[in-house]
Structures are given as structure tokens and as C-alpha cells.
């Protein structure tokens, strides 16, 4: 199922002016990544841009944070654009860190699927040239904030941000888990399942989709709750307004874990409450002119493929 609404903010062309300082970040230990980054850096410098290329891995928060803290400022980022060369996993880590700074991000696909890193590797030159000349489309994506509250004093042993999803799943024991779910303080259900996915529209085409969740258009003001292998077959995904606060309580004698974007993890205790709500921050992606979300779906999900007709068996 595809859910559409009128976009909250349509993409605009050439709305942000010239870029001066660019952070160039690559996927950690990817084959051929250094040569690609070298070529892009040369291209950017030839256009008169200052290029900051963090040392180390884009998968470590300390390296990503160095992008915005390299000047020592805690109020203004020293860059006005980030270029991410990698897959969606690389983009997830970068986007979470850059969202509070409102730094726009461009994604060049050096991974596999590439829903968010939408510029093909063999077309980065013309795509970057057009974007740097002011010809691009901008869109903003919602993030989620999650925190774990632990009694008796409601301490917070874990807090993280997610661009794709917050997933509560089975722990080391591997048994089905019991979850009590409230929305804005109102009881919704008690669920026994392998897990529960709370996804943004961006994350609706990730793990949530593989668990039979709906596809939400990126500009939809909603979040989707998708049970993973629920015990009750009548349990189905539900789309909620993104103004809701979702609270999930871990049942007694339940061994569970929580993760954000499959990149930050925490073990949970029975009775823990996981509070998930829309983040105050958003991430802005820049796409080449003519970008189409539907074209991305057609390409990545093979919507353009026709059913294969099987030959009729010969008549006896």
C-alpha cells in the first residue's frame, strides 16, 4: 500500500545560494572508495570550494561529529554542504549527526540499494556540477527521537535519534517478547511478537517494508508501527500522526533490545519504557533537478518489471 498526501514542502530549485565549504565523507573500507573521493575532492577544489575530508571512518560518531565541530564552534557549523559517498547505511549515520545543524546533504551511491544516496556513481560529475550551480531539488525528511526510561527513578540509560526506524526486538534468549503500547498516554494494545518497528516515512521502505508495512511518501506527516511476526495474526501495521508520542513498555520476564537505524543498540530490562516521538530536527537532502521519488521506487523495487508468462503445457 502506498500512502500519499500533499507534500509539506515541495522541492525547490536553486533556493539556497552558493556553497563555499563542503564536507566529503565516504563509506568505511569500501573497495575503490578512496579513488572516488580523491576525484570528487579534486573536482570540488577546481570549482573553488574549500573541502573538509574527515579522517577515519564515517561509521564512528566521533569522526562524523568532527565535521561540524572542527572549528571549535558549538553554535554554527563550519560547513554549508555535506557530500556522502556510500550506501544508505552511511547516509543514516551522517544524517543523524548533521540534522541539528541544518546542513544539506547530497548522496552518491557507492553501496547496494541506494534509496537515499540517489546519485549513481557513474553520473556524479554532471549531477554535482548542476547542484553546485544552483540547479537542484531540496526535500526535508523527518527523524525520530527515542529514549529508554528505567524505574525506579526514570533514569535514561539510552537515548538516540533515528532517520529510518526505532526497532524493539528479541534479546539474546531469542524468545517472543511482550510489549504494551500507548499512544499519547492512551493504551493501544499488548503485543506478543518477535518485535515492533516504529518507522518514519523514510524508513517505511526499509525493515518495515520487509515486515509487510505500508510505503509512506517521504513528505507524509506520519509514522508507522509494524509488528514483526506477531502471535495474533489479526495484528496489522498502523499509521499514526507524527505528532504522537509512542510509549512501549517491556513486559515482565521479557528479554529485549532496542536499536535506532540498526546502528545504535541497547539491552532492555523488564519494565523499561521506550518513548518515541518526532525529533525537533529534520534532515535536508539535495537531489538533481527532475528527481522523482516514484522513479526511485520503480528502480529500487523493480516496479517496472512485468510478470513472467509461463508457457502453457502441451495439449495431450
- Phi first, then psi: what are they for 315, rounded to 5°? -65, 140
What's the pLDDT band for 305 if we cut at 50, 70, 90?
confident
Measured CA to CA, the distance from residue 58 to residue 67 in angstroms comes to 10
Residues 102-159 pLDDT 10s? 899 999 998 777 789 999 999 999 999 999 999 999 999 999 999 999 999 999 999 9
Measured CA to CA, the distance from residue 162 to residue 14 in angstroms comes to 28
Those residues with Cβ within 8 angstroms of residue 260's Cβ, 6 or more apart along the chain or in another chain = 96, 144, 146, 160, 161, 162, 165, 166, 167
Q: Mind listing the domains of the chain with CATH numbers?
A: 9-135+289-300 (3.40.50.10330), 143-279 (2.60.200.30)
pTM listed for this prediction: 0.87
273 in helix, strand or coil? strand
122: left (phi over 0), alpha (psi -120 to 50) or beta: alpha
Q: Cα–chain-centroid distance for residue 75?
A: 25
Q: Cα–chain-centroid distance for residue 230?
A: 24
Q: What is the mean pLDDT of residues 284-305?
A: 90
Q: Which residue has the higher pLDDT, 308 or 257?
A: 257
Q: How far is CA 207 from CA 107, 108, 110, 123, in A?
A: 20, 22, 20, 28
Catalytic position from the list 80, 88, 118, 261: 88
Q: What angle do CA 66, 67, 72 make, to 5 degrees?
A: 60
So what's the pLDDT on residue 185? 97
Residues 23-76 pLDDT 10s? 999 876 677 788 999 999 999 999 999 998 876 544 444 455 666 655 455 555
Under 8 Å between Cβ of 193 and 235: yes
Measured CA to CA, the distance from residue 246 to residue 265 in angstroms comes to 19
Under 8 Å between Cβ of 161 and 279: yes
Residue 88 annotated as catalytic: yes
So what's the pLDDT on residue 101? 87
Residues 70-109 pLDDT 10s? 545 555 567 889 999 998 999 999 999 889 988 999 999 9
Give the dihedral of Cα atoms 275, 276, 277, 280; nearest 10 deg: 100
Amino acid at each position: 500500500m502506498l500512502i500519499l498526501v500533499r507534500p509539506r514542502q515541495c522541492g525547490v530549485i536553486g533556493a539556497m545560494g552558493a556553497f563555499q565549504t563542503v564536507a566529503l565523507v565516504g563509506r568505511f573500507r569500501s573497495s575503490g572508495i578512496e579513488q572516488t573521493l580523491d576525484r570528487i575532492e579534486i573536482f570540488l577544489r577546481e570549482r573553488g570550494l574549500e573541502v573538509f575530508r574527515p579522517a577515519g571512518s564515517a561509521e564512528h560518531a566521533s569522526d562524523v561529529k568532527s565535521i561540524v565541530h572542527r572549528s571549535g564552534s558549538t553554535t554554527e557549523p563550519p560547513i554549508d554542504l555535506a557530500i556522502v559517498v556510500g550506501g544508505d547505511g552511511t547516509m543514516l549515520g551522517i544524517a543523524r549527526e548533521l540534522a541539528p545543524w541544518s546542513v544539506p546533504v547530497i548522496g552518491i551511491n557507492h553501496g547496494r540499494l541506494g534509496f537515499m544516496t540517489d546519485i549513481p556513481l557513474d553520473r556524479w560529475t554532471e549531477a554535482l556540477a548542476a547542484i553546485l550551480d544552483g540547479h537542484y531539488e531540496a526535500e526535508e525528511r523527518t527523524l525520530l527521537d527515542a529514549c529508554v526510561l528505567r524505574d525506579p527513578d526514570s533514569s535514561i540509560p539510552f537515548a538516540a535519534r533515528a532517520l529510518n526506524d526505532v526497532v524493539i526486538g528479541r534479546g539474546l534468549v531469542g524468545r517472543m517478547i511482550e510489549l504494551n503500547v500507548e499512544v499519547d498516554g492512551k493504551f493501544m494494545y499488548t503485543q506478543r511478537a518477535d518485535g515492533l518497528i516504529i518507522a518514519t516515512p523514510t524508513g517505511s521502505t526499509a525493515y518495515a517494508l520487509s515486515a509487510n508495512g505500508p510505503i509512506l511518501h517521504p513528505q507524509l506527516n506520519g509514522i508507522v508501527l509494524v509488528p514483526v511476526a506477531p502471535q495474533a495474526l489479526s495484528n496489522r501495521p498502523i499509521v499514526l500522526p507524527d505528532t504522537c508520542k509512542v510509549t512501549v513498555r517491556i513486559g515482565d520476564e521479557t528479554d529485549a533490545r532496542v536499536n535506532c537505524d540498526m546502528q545504535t543498540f541497547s539491552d532492555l530490562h523488564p519494565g523499561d519504557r521506550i518513548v518515541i516521538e518526532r525529533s525537533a530536527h529534520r534532515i535536508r537532502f539535495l537531489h538533481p533537478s527532475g528527481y522523482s521519488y516514484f522513479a526511485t521506487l520503480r528502480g529500487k523495487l523493480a516496479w517496472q518489471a512485468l510478470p513472467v508468462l509461463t508457457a502453457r503445457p502441451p495439449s495431450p
